[in-house]
Structure 1
Amino acid sequence: MISFFIAFYLLATLGIGFWASKKIKTSDDFTLAGKSLSTAFVGVTLFATWFGSSQIMGNPGFFIKNGFTSYFTLVFTNIICLFVVGQFYARKLYRMNLVTINDFFRKRFSKKLELTSSVIMVLSYPHWIAAQFVALAYLFHAVMGIPVNYGILLGAAIVVFYTYIGGMWAVAYTDMVQSIMIVLGMIILLYEVLHQTGGISPIFADQPKAFFRIFPKGGLAEWSDYLALLLAFTAGTIPVQEIYQRVFSAKDEKAARSGLFLGGLLLVIIPTIPLIIALGGVYVHPELLNAQDHQAIVPALVNIMTSVPVQILFYGAMISAILSTSSGAMLAPATVIGENLIKPYAPKLSDKRLLLYTRLSVILVALVSCYFAYSNADIVRLVEASLSLILVCLFAPFTFGLFWKKTSTTGAWAGVILGGGVWLFCFFYDTQMAPTIYGTVVSCLGVVLGSLVGPEKRGRD
């Protein structure tokens, strides 16, 4: 019965994508939905894109183990990032009439930096998308008994289909429907769990004092991991394309900024629910703590503690969350490939042909993501890996270039090369502190020193 309803829901999602494809006439329709999204659509699609497998399956395991230190790094960082972008970045960038973040690197610095930043941006996404494919595979295995290896391919095929045909319009409409499913599913499951625990107080009363610490108490290794996650989920997410794909798709500046604030609010409130669900579940069923895979705790609780109708709604919500994250994350690098890696080097390319190449890029990104999905099944670590490359290479030149007039092309190159190089060196030599910390600091210093030593005119290649 559950399998039937899940299959029906997946078909309905594909149907929405097919209907949305009728709005696609140009490449701008595909990538930016005609620049017509309202505040609600911007906020909800941002929420749906970031509320995925990590929030439902990855974060609860970390929260149970590490308490509120994990809550701060994995959940509260969302609103910090989107508030900062909405308050300081969105207006400036919206007025530049960009399609991708990499357009900024061309306008502010040079075409060569646009090319380099585009390659880095594209390379960063497969890990994140892979995390969603892994989560879908776990769900398909739990609900339908499909082996995880086949589940990865099935999930990829579904997301590719409706993203390929409908682009940003399909992402926006499916995100709206899927977000409703997510909220309903999470609230009903929370009610079921709290009914069995006798409320929320017994759950937290049972926890040790260390659980409520925001900062780690351990030595350098724990602080290093803490700061690495904090940097990845705040500064590392500031330059990501999927944020600005929604900002640039907004009908005006006000809708863009308000949508960011709405998305940030939703990304603090809703992701808190799975954490309480998991904590309440192991309070009632402590044997789940002995499970080898903590990523499966929430799905296991659903099967143990809820009726079939609630299971149907929950799995629908889970699949909704992961599909929406996957589609938005796949569209972002595909847009960069079309707009920054193909279009500038094919001046005679027709818009129709560009649209085709951007769509084909969706398939390419999906294939690479499947490779990473088979290579690493740790959802949170896959997401962290996807953000590290952007953080150490692009955050500093992007931020300094937007706010510091003296930032030069030489400085931007120094930030990209030194930050990425130090990060790779520390990664391969397994330094005691996280490589992202070294890479981020060196990248910022590289931009400043490079700009002071080699001042250049803007736009020089």
Structure 2
Amino acid sequence: MLLWFVIGYWAVSVAIGLIVALRVRNTADYAAAGHRMPLYVVTATVFATWFGSETVLGIPATFLKEGLRGVVADPFGSSLCLVLVGLFFARPLYRRKLLTIGDFYRRQYGRTVEVLVTLCIVISYLGWVAAQIKALGLVFNVVSAGAMSKATGMIVGATTVMVYTLFGGMLSVAITDFIQMIIIMLGMVYIGWDLGGPAGGGGA
């Protein structure tokens, strides 16, 4: 049952991402969703990006193993960065209608600095993306009861995201993230209710 739910969820996510891709008309739509996403979609995108499979599966295990010291950087450090950027930088950068953060550095300091900053961003994200893909592989492996290996699950998960991102860019990512946030929240609420019910005496 769980496996079929995951397969259905995977198919719906890909379909929605490709359907939304039909609305992409130009570079601004592709790279920045046309700079016209409503607040709730932006919030969902940020949430789903930072609270994905690696956060749900990896961070709790790290906390149990190392305590608070092991999760200072992620999620606390990364969350603090999001808050600081939102408070002090997001609005001025948004008003400039930039497509990437590299555009800001190009306008201020030139092409060379833009390339260097972009390379630093790409390198810094390799570990984070790798953790997400590894967690996806674990999910597919577990829900298939071992029928799908972790390596195959990683390929399936990465390919899925690449397909709708390639065709729809940020617009497809934002809409699918919105749906994923709803699923994550419902799942976490259900897990909390299921685990907390017996402890709280709900079954009496």
Superposition TM-score, scaled by structure 2 size: 0.89
How many Å apart are 1:148 and its aligned residue? 1.1
Contact 2:30 2:170 in 1 (8 A): yes
> Which structure has the greater CA radius of gyration?
1
Distance (Å, rounded) in 2 between the aligned partners of 1:179 and 1:19: 19
What does residue 36 of structure 1 align with? 36
The correspondence of residues 250-399 of structure 1 with structure 2, limited to 5 A, is: none
Say how many residue pairs are matched.
199
Q: Counterpart amino acid of 1:91?
A: R
Aligned-pair distance for 1:96? 2.9
User: Cα deviations across residues 188-235 of structure 1 (Å, max 9, x unaligned)?
Assistant: 101111224447xxxxxxxxxxxxxxxxxxxxxxxxxxxxxxxxxxxx
Instruction: Please give the residue correspondences for 1:104-143 in structure 2 after superposition, counting only pairs within 5 Å.
Output: 104-143=104-143
Deviations 1:250-288 (A, max 9, x none): xxxxxxxxxxxxxxxxxxxxxxxxxxxxxxxxxxxxxxx
Cα distance in 1, alignment partners of residues 180 and 198 from structure 2: 27
Give the one of 159, 166, 169 matched to 2:168: 166
What residue ranges of structure 1 are gaps of 5+ in the alignment?
200-461
Q: Which has the higher contact order (CA 8 A, sep 6+)?
A: 2
After superposition, give the CA deviation of every residue in 1:329-356 in whole Å (9 maximum; x if it has no partner): xxxxxxxxxxxxxxxxxxxxxxxxxxxx
Letter in 2 for 1:27: T
C-alpha displacement of 1:80: 2.1
The residue that corresponds to 2:9 in the other structure is 9
Query: How far apart are residue 181 of structure 1 and its match?
Result: 0.6
Tell me which residue corresponds to 2:93: 93
Q: TM-score, normalised by structure 1?
A: 0.41
The C-alpha deviation readout for 1:129-155, integer Å capped at 9, x for no partner, is 111111111111111120112111111
5+ residue gaps, structure 2 = none
Distance 1:115 1:74, change over 3 A: closer
- Give the partner amino acid of 1:35: H
Aligned CA distance change for structure 1 residues 120 and 83 (closer, same or farther; 3 Å): closer
Q: Do the aligned partners of residues 78 and 5 (structure 1) sit closer, same or farther apart at CA in structure 2, a change above 3 Å counting?
A: same
One-letter code aligned to 1:89: F
AA aligned opposite 1:58? G
2:58–2:135 CA contact under 8 A, matched in 1: no
Give the CA deviation at 1:117. 1.6
Query: In structure 1, how many angstroms separate the alpha carbons of the residues matched to 2:124 and 2:72?
Result: 24
Between the aligned partners of 1:166 and 1:96, the Cα distance in structure 2 is 23
SS of structure 2 residue aligned to 1:24: coil
Listed as ranges, the matches of 1:61-76 within 5 Å are 61-70=61-70, 72-76=72-76
Amino acid corresponding to residue 174 of structure 1 in structure 2: T
Q: Does 1:153 align with 2:176?
A: no
Instruction: Work out which of the residue numbers 182, 185, 210 in structure 1 matches 2:184.
Output: 182
1:19 maps to amino acid: I
Tell me how far apart the structure 2 counterparts of residues 128 and 65 of structure 1 sit (CA, whole Å).
19
Partner Cα distance (1:77, 1:118) in 2? 21
